[in-house]
Amino acid sequence: METAIYVRVSTEEQAQEGFSIRGQEQKLKDYARVKDWSIYNIYIDEGISGKNITDRPAINKMITDIKNGHIKNVVVFKIDRITRSTGDLAYLIDLFSKHGCSFNSLTESIDTQTPSGRMFIKMIGIFAEFERENIAERVRLGCERKVKEGYSLCGNQVSYGYDREDGQKIQTINEKEAPIVKQLFDWYVNDNMPLAQIAKRFNAMKIPTKNSNTWTANTVRTILTNCTYVGRVRYSLGDKDKYFEADGLHEPIITLETYNKAQKQVEKNKKVSGTKKPRDDNYFQGFLYCPECGSKLKTHGSYNRNGKGETIYKGAYRCRNKLFGNCAFPQTSNSKMEKAFIEYAQRISEFTEIDDNQLKQIQGQQDCIQEQCDCIQEQCDCKGTDTNTRTSHIQQTKQLIQTYKDKLNQLDIRDKEILSLYVDGNVPFDRYREIKDKIDKDRKEAHSELEKLATTEDTPPEFTREDFVLEFKANWEHLTNIEKRQFLMKFVKKIHLSAHRADNKHNWLIVVEDVEFA
């Protein structure tokens, strides 16, 4: 935990034993080593009174570092070293809490990580709570009025596609970003492109976000659901009870028709997606509904052993009400479900009226799309579904993850070693800080790589906008399980089932009675 050591003496206290700068500093350094805290910096205000914090350069520098997220813990020799003002103390405690920074006093044994320390802080907080609430109420009323008048609050950042300079009340269109917003909506609404695929394309095109970061599926979703792009402004996005929208004074970027289509698609994807990500073998999850009670079928797979002693996962679906004896619909396997779906497709007359040239054209498009699939870390081309290749990728990913975990352990050991050397006086602070910064940089890079590896997954290919009948006939038998789910996400809204006992058989016959198309 990055710790700031703060020490202060006023002129008349310089000669007092125990209050000297060096005395405070050494005791706090030893305390930090015992607690296994990393020392970010030592802030010293020498010969300055503690009656306020305005005239103390060191404490103000520390406050700036806390606001910038560099410090997560502050330790002082005694509370009056940091301030003698109750008002300033309440301000500092509130600041620490806001930025996730702990506070510790060595002499009073106050540690906000302990129950007694937290109780002390709460007592201080009571005196400041009333004023904070009054200020918050005044700010809230002002913000509500501003939004109702058509002005965007913008917060810390203007929406992508817009700019608002200091002192400017109405946001204006950013001519470089606006076309990106239009392209994003076009890909999602007209081309049915997945969120992750849109983000991947923007990253490949080297297009930065507003913060010059990389695009993610969440970034794309945030833009798609932002009413700012149709000339509206909104208030209290995080509180549904207080949330409202109003006509804005700024110019729109996209049409209301396009925006409404995007909202329907986003909402549909929410409903289709299950409470957890489906396994490859359960790609019908979210589309199946029980014909007996109308509930959405849940996944319920099983593990069996084959003749070679290997464990095989078998995807299946069942009605949750069956568990409580309120439904008689039987459990059905994913393979039976797929068979029923294919049989339903064959029963529709449109599937038998396909021109051979049309079919070859779609199959050719499918081959081109398959060749564009990126493998892990975009270092090779996935031109098929070879099992050994995919297994190799998984093994390589696991090895990389373990390598970065081992590296993090070694960095933790080095961090403790350099701290001990500094506290014992064997390494000057400048050298300690230099090594510490290098360790922190390496640690951040390792965590970043681990995060990328943990979220790496096959990205489903992009499908062309062709008629459902042609797509099914040309693609279904050639698709991987992930691609089959993406196919369903594009074309299917709901699958209606029925179940009948087979003649003289114990098994049930699952039939797809109807399909509601998106």
Report the catalytic residues.
Answer: 10
- Provide the pLDDT for residue 303: 65
C-alpha 242/C-alpha 223 separation (Å) is 21
The set of residues, in sequence order, having a beta carbon less than 8 Å from that of 274 and lying 6+ positions away, is: 285, 286, 298, 299
Rounded to the nearest 10 degrees, the angle between the axes of helix 178-189 and helix 217-224 is: 100
Q: What tokens does 499 get?
A: 């179940």
Please, are residues 4 and 61 in contact by the beta-carbon 8 Å criterion?
no
Please, are residues 287 and 301 in contact by the beta-carbon 8 Å criterion?
no
- Provide the pLDDT for residue 500: 79
Partners of residue 43 on adjacent β-strands: 6
- Spans of the chain below 50 pLDDT: 15, 17-18, 274-277, 349, 351-352, 354, 362, 365-366, 368-391, 457-466
Q: What is the pLDDT of residues 423-475, one digit of tens each?
A: 888 888 888 888 888 888 898 888 888 887 776 544 444 433 345 656 676 67
At residue 216's C-alpha, the angle toward residues 211 and 217, to 5°, is 135
pTM of the complete model: 0.37
Please give the single-letter amino acid code of residue 186. D
For the chain, what percentages of helix, strand and coil (3-state, to nearest 5) are there? Answer: 50, 15, 35
CATH code matching the domain that covers 2-130, chosen among 3.40.50.1390, 3.40.50.10860, 3.40.50.150, 3.90.190.20:
3.40.50.1390
C-alpha 295/C-alpha 292 separation (Å) is 8
- Provide the pLDDT for residue 280: 60
User: 245-268 burial, b if ≥16 CB within 10 A, otherwise e?
Assistant: ebebebeebbeeebbeebeebeee
Domain boundaries, the chain: 2-130, 162-269, 280-373+461-517, 387-455
Please give the single-letter amino acid code of residue 479. L
C-alpha distances in Å from residue 155, one per residue of 141, 143, 158, 236, 385:
15, 11, 7, 11, 47
Q: What tokens does 229 get?
A: 């792009």
C-alpha 208/C-alpha 214 separation (Å) is 6
Q: Which of 75, 230, 50 is nearest to 152 (CA)?
A: 230
Please give the single-letter amino acid code of residue 448. S
Q: What is the pLDDT of residues 100-119, one digit of tens each?
A: 898 888 877 777 666 777 67
Please give the single-letter amino acid code of residue 152. S
Architecture of domain 162-269 in CATH? Alpha-Beta Complex (3.90)
391's enclosing H/E stretch is helix 387-423
Please, are residues 230 and 252 in contact by the beta-carbon 8 Å criterion?
yes
- Provide the pLDDT for residue 263: 92
Strand 298-299 and strand 102-105: the pairing is unpaired
**SS3 for 81-99, per residue?**
HHCCCHHHHHHHHHHHHHC
